[in-house]
């Protein structure tokens, strides 16, 4: 097995302008034992979905990995988190605050962002919460379909301390079938507090 903790960042991926922070995060990940397995697609626009999401630690490890990669991945999180003192740290790291209680067209906003940027990778937790849910939020599928952007599944597995990259998926005109197909890919992976279903 290779000693690499991260795959290489492909040429078309959006990048952060820093060498120090990726170097530091790679060192911390190496000490922690966490790894990112698989291959990143060489595309300028991408939606990344990660599950199962059952702990704040998912975000910590994911954030460390995105910085270690040197990738400029925007991440949708609750606006309340950015409105807290943590916002001073998280906003420069690419976090996009979402008000889930207001009647805002989040899908439309994200589609416009994709249209306005030649390169954009967007991270979303499709469960929408750390609690157990029976249905995933469908926003990532609607964004992918309207923006014509591929979806990259990322499987969290705490027993092996890995994030594993899946094969890019594409939204069709049948969102129910898309959701069933994509959710099935996550079976067998174990979050910090529960399995994926």
Residue extents of the structural domains in the chain = 20-36+43-185
Query: What is the Cα–Cα distance from 19 to 96, expressed in whole angstroms?
Result: 23
Query: What is the Cα–Cα distance from 9 to 46, expressed in whole angstroms?
Result: 13
DSSP run (H or E) holding 74: strand 73-78
Would you say residue 70 has pLDDT above 90?
Answer: yes
Would you say residue 27 has pLDDT above 70?
Answer: yes
Q: pLDDT at position 79, please?
A: 79
Give residue-wise pLDDT tens across range 114-166: 999 999 999 998 875 555 666 788 889 999 999 999 999 999 999 999 999 99
Give the three-state DSSP class for 44. coil
Q: pLDDT at position 10, please?
A: 97
Q: pLDDT at position 129, please?
A: 54
Q: pLDDT at position 65, please?
A: 94
Rg (CA), the chain: 16
Q: Provide the 8-state DSSP code for 93.
A: G
Q: How many helices (H) and strands (E) does the chain have?
A: 7, 7
Do residues 126 and 51 make contact, with C-beta atoms less than 8 angstroms apart?
A: yes
Q: pLDDT at position 1, please?
A: 41
Would you say residue 102 has pLDDT above 80?
Answer: no
Would you say residue 20 has pLDDT above 70?
Answer: yes
* Mean pLDDT, all residues of the chain: 87
Q: pLDDT at position 127, please?
A: 74
What value does the mean pLDDT take over residues 74-78?
83
Would you say residue 92 has pLDDT above 90?
Answer: no
Do residues 124 and 104 make contact, with C-beta atoms less than 8 angstroms apart?
A: no
Q: pLDDT at position 103, please?
A: 43
């Amino acid at each position: 097995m290779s000693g690499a903790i991260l795959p290489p960042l492909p040429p078309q991926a959006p990048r952060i302008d820093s060498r120090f922070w990726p170097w530091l995060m790679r060192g911390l990940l190496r000490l922690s034992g966490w790894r990112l397995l698989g291959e990143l697609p060489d595309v300028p626009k991408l939606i990344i979905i990660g599950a199962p999401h059952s702990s704040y630690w998912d975000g910590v490890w994911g954030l460390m990995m995105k910085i270690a990669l040197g990738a400029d991945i925007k991440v949708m999180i609750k606006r309340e988190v950015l409105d807290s003192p943590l916002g001073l740290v998280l906003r420069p790291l690419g976090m996009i605050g979402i008000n889930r209680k207001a009647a805002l067209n989040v899908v439309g906003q994200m589609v416009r962002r994709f249209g306005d940027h030649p390169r954009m990778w967007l991270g979303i937790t499709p469960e929408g919460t750390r609690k157990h849910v029976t249905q995933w939020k469908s926003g990532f599928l609607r964004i992918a379909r309207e923006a014509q952007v591929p979806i990259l599944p990322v499987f969290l597995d705490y027993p092996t301390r890995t994030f594993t990259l899946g094969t890019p998926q594409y939204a069709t005109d049948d969102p129910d079938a898309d959701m069933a197909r994509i959710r099935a890919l996550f079976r067998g992976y174990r979050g910090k507090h529960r399995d994926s279903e």
